[in-house]
Amino acid sequence: MSIKTLIVDDSAIVRSKLKQMLETHSDIVVVGSAPDPYVARNKIVELKPDVITLDLEMPRMDGLTFLRKLMKAMPLPVIIVSGITAKGCALSIEALESGAIDVIEKPSFHDQKSLEDFSARLCDKVIAASRATVAKMGARLVQARKKKLHFTKPVNTGKIIAIGASTGGTEALKTVLMNMPLNSPPIVVVQHMPGNFTNAFARRLNNSCEIEVVEAVDKMEAIPGRAIIANGSKHLKIIRRGLTKYFVSCFDGESVCRHKPSVEVLFDSVAQQAGSKAVGVMLTGMGSDGAKAMLKMHEQGAKTIAQDEKSCVVFGMPKEAIRIGAVDIVVSLENVSETIFSFL
């Protein structure tokens, strides 16, 4: 069955290009396009799309305002197609908090390779969005905030927490990290997101969390009370020095499991460097990135957690990790933080 997609963008050229790209995939059909939210509103009622791609900077009504109205009146899977300006990045993070499923940066329309990469990633995101459970976004966070944890004793030294997430993961990560106290072990995270957006994402999380949240910088130390988010265009791994210290390595390279950064790369390094001192967490996301490396973590004695299907926006990555026997326990999103500490 074809995925009916509506394109909302004020540029006729962009609308035409996106239509061409999306319709290269046999499972996607573009049922219409709109130059602004007012036209889009009527077309949503008329065409009943499964997925919407949305620009944020448009005339008459900006995309963020439109998204918020849409999520209240008729929740649908929305993918933000945004420019990589500082303003565009900040607005995109707000859009994810407001219910958008995913974000992708607009490509250079003069670079053929950039266009080809963008086309493949956009189609992947539309397919993932079509399988998402949009209504769950929002209610979960309200529940999770009521369970903020407080620990009076420092956790064992040498422990480290590794988290992987993709589609729907930005709000899931926020839910988990908001519950982490200042004396939590170091946390390293791969969230599939464009490279120009992760700094804004980390800053946003940092303002919401008790712990420090930062974008990864090569050779940065992973210390207690700090969560390090992988740069969206580089792989991330950990390196242990001595018995209890960890540092991160950020590096370029080919995509792994179709992603860069890849959860597989991070989890593989955690299995090798931390072994039984690690806790691994697989949150919502499409695909299988990280599942095999989580199994390695499990085999090395790490404790492993997967988010359950009911609380996932897309139950892909956790499902695959569970399927291959990589997971110790499956829990709802609001119980992830508590479960991490039960393993410490």
The catalytic residue positions are 166, 192, 289
> Whose CA is closest to 174, among 201, 146, 139, 197?
201
d(CA 171, CA 168): 6
Identify whether the C-beta of residue 168 lies closer than 8 Å to the C-beta of residue 137.
yes
Identify whether the C-beta of residue 160 lies closer than 8 Å to the C-beta of residue 278.
yes
- Collapsing DSSP to helix, strand or coil, 273 comes out as helix
User: Checking DSSP bridges between strand 78-82 and strand 235-241, what pairing results, if any?
Assistant: unpaired
> Whose CA is closest to 166, among 316, 53, 331, 338?
316
CB neighbour list of residue 298: distance below 8 Å, 6 or more residues apart? 280, 304, 325, 326, 327, 328
What are the b/e assignments for 120-150, b being 16+ CB within 10 Å? ebbbbbbebbbbbbbebbeebbeebeeeeee
Terminus-to-terminus CA distance in the chain, angstroms? 46
Q: Which two tokens stand for residue 81?
A: 């197609």
CA within 13 Å, CB half, 301: 9
d(CA 293, CA 265): 8
The per-residue DSSP string of 107-172 comes to --TT-HHHHHHHHHHHHHHHHHHHT--GGGTTHHHHHHHTT----SSPPPTT-EEEEEE-TTHHHH
Q: Which two tokens stand for residue 181?
A: 């106290």
